[in-house]
């Protein structure tokens, strides 16, 4: 039987790529005092690492979105604390899958009269895109495997893993959501 879980990006490779993204963003935003807007909860580890590799000062804020069903109706579950009017906003996402969430977020931000919007996503699941949505910065392009760790969850679990894992057989997680725990947690450096 093939391994049901595979470590696909190790911590050092994640951190190296995050550094490259930070350098590219620094070049574009040197004098713009941007707000890094994390989409809760998945963006938190990535955002924390990304902003600490930037050279320029930035502000940080968060919002949470709720998606209803497969048709992709999206509403704001938790709004920002900072007024975004006339600000340069860098949306920080863990993964862009169908693109429905990000498309809705763009519409919300347009209504807020922001100065500009760009998106940085750690992962781009390009083969699953339903709506085309602009992506200015992407860490890795990935296939359609279900990924876990470094922000990404299964039923709320695994977000604090330092590396990225693929679940190759989802029936195993559906039967036992903790199936990946023994392979990861408790092992120093994971
Ligand atoms: P979408 O682009 O609107 O389809 O939604 C993207 C969201 O779906 C992400 O922010 C994740 O919360 C979730 N998601 C998509 N693919 C994965 C995955 O492989 N692992 C964990 N969450 C995922
Ligand atoms: Mg998410």
pTM (predicted TM-score): 0.95
Closest ligand 1 atom to the C-alpha of 142?
19
Active-site residue identified among 97, 124, 132, 169: 97
CA 171 to CA 161: how far, in whole Å? 21
- Residue-by-residue pLDDT tens, the chain, 190 positions: 678 999 999 999 999 999 999 999 999 999 999 999 999 999 999 999 999 999 989 999 999 999 887 777 899 999 999 999 999 999 999 999 999 999 999 999 999 999 999 999 999 999 999 999 999 999 999 999 999 999 999 999 999 999 999 999 999 999 999 999 999 998 655 5
Closest ligand 1 atom to the C-alpha of 94?
10
Contact 64, 74 (CB under 8 A): no
Q: Tell whether the torsion through CA atoms of 124, 24, 7 and 69 is positive or negative.
A: negative
Q: Which pLDDT belongs to residue 188?
A: 58
CA 110 to CA 116: how far, in whole Å? 9
Mutate to test the pocket of ligand 1, among 38, 95, 133 (most ligand atoms within 8 A of CB): 95
């Amino acid at each position: 039987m093939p391994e049901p879980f595979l470590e696909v990006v190790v911590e050092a490779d994640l951190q190296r790529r995050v550094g490259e993204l930070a350098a590219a963003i620094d070049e574009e935003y040197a004098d713009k005092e941007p707000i890094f807007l994390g989409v809760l909860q998945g963006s938190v580890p990535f955002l924390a690492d990304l902003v600490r590799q930037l050279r320029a000062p930035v502000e940080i804020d968060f919002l949470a979105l709720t998606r209803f069903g497969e048709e992709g109706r999206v509403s704001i579950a938790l709004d920002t604390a900072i007024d975004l009017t006339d600000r340069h906003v860098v949306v920080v996402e863990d993964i862009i899958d169908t693109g429905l969430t990000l498309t809705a977020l763009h519409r919300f931000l347009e209504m807020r009269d922001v100065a500009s919007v760009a998106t940085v996503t750690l992962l781009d699941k390009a083969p699953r895109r339903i709506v085309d949505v602009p992506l200015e910065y992407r860490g890795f392009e990935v296939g359609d495997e279900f990924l876990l760790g470094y922000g990404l969850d299964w039923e709320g679990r695994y977000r604090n893993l330092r590396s990225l894992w693929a679940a190759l057989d989802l029936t195993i997680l559906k039967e036992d959501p903790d199936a990946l725990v023994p392979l990861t947690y408790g092992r120093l450096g994971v």
